[in-house]
Amino acid sequence: MTQDETLIRLSEVRMEGVGKRYGAAWVVKDVSISIRPGEFYTLLGPSGCGKTTLLRMLAGFAQPDEGRIFVDDEPIDSVPPWKRNLGMVFQHYALWPHMSVFENVAFGLRERRVSGAELDSKVKAALQQVGLEGFEPRRPSQLSGGQQQRVALARTLIVQPRLLLLDEPLSNLDAQLRSQMRLELARLHRDVGITTLYVTHDQAEALSLSTRIAVLSEGALVQEGRPEEIYWKPRNAFVAEFVGAANLVPVSVIELREMGVVVQTTGGARLPVSSGGHAWSVGDRALLCLRPEALRVEEAERSAGGIPGTIAAHVFEGSRQLYDVTIPGGTIKVEMITSALVGRSFKLGDQVRVEVSPETSVLLPDEGSTA
């Protein structure tokens, strides 16, 4: 395959106020997103949040009831699926069981009347790209789940689609294969560079693969940003708890500062924290989001700050130690690297303080509060 033949057009996508309903129920409500050329953009959320419906509308398998969809500044709402030149890989790989790997990958090219030496070279190059060179004569039943997934990717990429759409592609694999395929997808995107829209409910996949993530809940876009922003600066409690582990500690705002606020816990501990991009007033009730790995446990008498508590549970895992620390009004989970402790552990009943860093804590609205 020549260099000119491997060039992929870096397309962009724009959705403006897109909505979709089934009967009286809106499954997607007023979603606007923009996917840049060459991005690996992920729609992340729980089952039923509307992410697959958005993907299907982009692919042309469902029509929006509101809003418009553009690819490369061209409206595609009226364009049938087979004319959009978008490559889609489904959760169930949809390989033809009676065909060899070669014929599965070659199918799209044969439909485009490619044959002979050109067909052979392109199929070989596509399989080499996904690490399956030499697998041409095998049937799908002779392949592992991960290998079948790679065949599905090769079959999609060989026709040089404008966009690559992936709908929960790793959900049928076991944990070890999922981890391996995440690396393969990252490498493939790095090598090919095609604009990719990825749908998943797995936050580890989203964080490790994406250039940007859109978090969806009940058909609405809740937050969009780079993986680091989504993880360390969630906009609300839903995002904080859905993307990684999070302690949500009820607090009240007692002081406003130029660089943040001071909050007070139920037990009276006072902590300077980030405002989280929200506007606060003294007296507001809020939730302090603390990631377990960003916390540190110290002996109560050796630490003047932090949140006082009692060790309620301890798990030693070699490289790390996990603690449950009981505080007034709840429990905080802490994850500490063992090497940072020089081998020291706390035991059940020890009086400690949980040290909180303003840089890694975020104050969120207490949406369940009526005060």
CATH number of residue 53's parent domain: 3.40.50.300
Structure tokens at 150: 């790679």
Question: Is residue 54 located within the same domain as residue 150?
Answer: yes
pLDDT at residue 6 in the model: 47
Question: Is residue 218 located within the same domain as residue 95?
Answer: yes
Question: Is residue 149 located within the same domain as residue 225?
Answer: yes
pLDDT at residue 367 in the model: 80
Question: Is residue 219 located within the same domain as residue 259?
Answer: no
pTM check: above 0.85: yes
Task: Render 19-84 in DSSP notation, one character per residue.
Answer: EEEETTEEEEEEEEEEE-TT-EEEEE--TTSSHHHHHHHHHTSS--SEEEEEETTEE-TTS-GGGS
The H or E element that residue 167 is part of is strand 163-167
pLDDT at residue 371 in the model: 41
pLDDT at residue 8 in the model: 58
Domain presence at residue 370: no
Question: Is residue 135 located within the same domain as residue 195?
Answer: yes
Question: Is residue 131 located within the same domain as residue 185?
Answer: yes
Cβ pair 87, 9 in contact under 8 A: no
Question: Is residue 181 located within the same domain as residue 311?
Answer: no
Structural domain for 354, as ranges: 245-365
Amino acid (1-letter code) at residue 76? I
Q: How many other CB atoms are found less than 10 A from the CB of residue 351?
A: 12
Which residues in the chain show pLDDT less than 50? 1-7, 370-371
pLDDT at residue 158 in the model: 86
The number of folded domains in the chain is 2
Question: Is residue 274 located within the same domain as residue 183?
Answer: no
Exposed e or buried b per residue across 277-289, where buried means at least 16 C-beta atoms within 10 angstroms of its C-beta:
eeebeeebebbbb
Question: Is residue 146 located within the same domain as residue 216?
Answer: yes
Domain presence at residue 121: yes
Domain boundary among 237, 264, 283: 237
Q: 110-142, pLDDT tens digit by residue?
A: 888 888 888 888 898 888 888 888 898 899 889
Q: 286-306, pLDDT tens digit by residue?
A: 999 999 999 999 888 877 788
The H or E element that residue 253 is part of is strand 247-257
Domain boundary among 207, 237, 267: 237
Domain boundary among 204, 237, 270: 237
The domain spanning residue 328 has which CATH number? Answer: 2.40.50.140
